[in-house]
Structure 1
Amino acid sequence: MQTTVLIVDDEPDIRELIRLYLANEGYRVLEAADGREALELTRKHEIDLMILDVMMSGMDGMETCAKIRERQWMPIIMLTARTGDLDKIQGLAVGADDYVTKPFNPLELVARVKSQLRRYKRYANAFTLQTNLLSIGGVTLHPEMRQVWVRGQPVHLTPREFDILALLFRHPGVVFRSEEIYERVWGEPMLTSNNTIMVHIRKIREKIEDDPKNPAIVLTVWGVGYKAAADSHPVRHD
């Protein structure tokens, strides 16, 4: 799967410069002109790394980084025209992984991108070996093996059903709108209102819930969307 990098900067020329260098290295590149647009893109796409400008109008880079860290842990490289140590310390404190000062050498930035992705991949692989199972209320899911068990018994889910359940299990207690689930799982916007997600949720419940009409694992938040029960926990895999 192609690695996706999100560039967040209110200067189009800066975004274009970075995009050209990253695209030349084979990365898929998304762009945002401000923090709010960046947050929206992280909800719609799987982002592997973010390059985030500090000084932007509206929601600046510091606030954007802090909000990203409430839900996601992709590497974040912050860009800034400031050179003071206090600004760097503040950026690292809110969750940034690296700091690059403008003006910058694009080749150095690409090298830092590669370094951060390697580090996160090593961390993710080590973490996956220890905690690669997710369990809620007797339902256990293995994301990499794409298998599901209900109280130890294997259950067959279709690919779409599995992807929906995996999304909810990875974010226990987080409510996802139907449109957001569709965009993440199908990888495209849901252009019209339909009951596709509702039908898939019903089929998932029929396969994993003790009482599908009174679910305890995949919950409906009326008027908003769906969530997994918040008692999810990783199961050690030795």
Structure 2
Amino acid sequence: MNKLKVLIADDDANVCEILSLYLKENHYDVVEANNGQDAINLFKTTNPDIILLDIMMPDIDGYEVCKEIRKTATVPIIMLTAKDEEFDKILGLEIGADDYVTKPFSPREVIARIKAIFRRMPAPPEVLELNNDKYEFENFTVYVKQREVQVGGKKLFFRPKEFDLLLYLIRNPNIVHTRDQLLEKVWGYDFVGDIRTVDVHVKRIRDEFAAHNIDAIHTVWGVGYQFQPNGKG
């Protein structure tokens, strides 16, 4: 079995060295970048399975690197940040990060986050059976096995966890789900990120739907979120 490849992007040589050591001991392949531009270049040439991305880097910061990668790929990204303000964490999630770790951190914690992300990821598309298992609504259709959402035959862009969240809400319509419930059901008991992760993913789904005038996920203030279908499932 091929080893998973991790791209570490951090301008702190000590951080890179420590993470690289622990990752290799845990049977990961590692490539390293010390600035934002190198991170983008290595992402394009080495095709990593996951990226550990520092926010504060010279040349191009982690936010910009994340946005650039998200233009073409859904590879998992864990942000490494010395900042602990809520704004910085949420901003990272909003632009496409899957999780974050605040410095100083234990390398074991980082490896635990990596393992948690891969446990939550769906099976690769090539091993999924394609069939007509779908949910059809007035203005969009969800193909479950293909993990696709289409509007008028056009495929919408959803990252893996966004699709998982949408599908869970679709399968449990007209029920108000709290953020804690959604974290438990969609992310799992081992998720160690911020509860606002749910808000960020809901926002991404809504933004993608909004371009097609779809309003399916509703906020119940002070409680959580509810999917209200307008077609048939």
For the aligned pair, the TM-score class normalised by the smaller chain equals 0.5 to 0.7
Q: 1:131 to 1:101 in 2, by over 3 A?
A: farther
Q: Is the 1:49–1:117 Cα contact (8 Å) retained in structure 2? A: no
Counterparts of 2:38 and 2:84 in 1: how far apart (Å)?
A: 26
1:1-238 to structure 2, matched below 5 A, reads: 1-120=2-121, 123-125=122-124, 129=128
Partner SS state of residue 32, structure 2: strand
Q: 1:131 to 1:71 in 2, by over 3 A?
A: farther
Instruction: Look up the match of 1:156.
Output: none
Q: Output the amino acid matched with 1:20.
A: L
Report percent identity of matched pairs.
45
Q: Deviations over 1:22-42 (max 9, x none)?
A: 000000000000111011111
Partner SS state of residue 65, structure 1: helix
Which portions of structure 1, spanning 4 or more consecutive aligned residues, are displaced by more than 3 angstroms? Answer: 124-128
Q: Output the amino acid matched with 1:63.
A: E
Q: Deviations over 1:195-221 (max 9, x none)?
A: xxxxxxxxxxxxxxxxxxxxxxxxxxx
Partner SS state of residue 59, structure 1: coil
Structure 1 unaligned blocks of 5 or more = 133-238
Q: 1:68 to 1:131 in 2, by over 3 A?
A: farther
Counterparts of 2:49 and 2:64 in 1: how far apart (Å)?
A: 20
Kindly state the Cα deviation for residue 118 of structure 1 after the two structures are TM-superposed.
2.2
Kindly state the Cα deviation for residue 45 of structure 1 after the two structures are TM-superposed.
1.4
Partner SS state of residue 15, structure 1: helix
Q: Deviations over 1:11-63 (max 9, x none)?
A: 11100000011000000000000111011111111210000000111200000
TM-score, normalization by structure 2: 0.53
Q: 1:45 to 1:117 in 2, by over 3 A?
A: same
Q: Is the 1:35–1:60 Cα contact (8 Å) retained in structure 2? A: yes
Superposition RMSD in Å: 1.7
Q: 1:71 to 1:29 in 2, by over 3 A?
A: same
Structure 2 unaligned blocks of 5 or more = 132-233
Instruction: Look up the match of 2:190.
Output: none
Counterparts of 1:126 and 1:27 in 2: how far apart (Å)?
A: 23
Kindly state the Cα deviation for residue 127 of structure 1 after the two structures are TM-superposed.
7.9
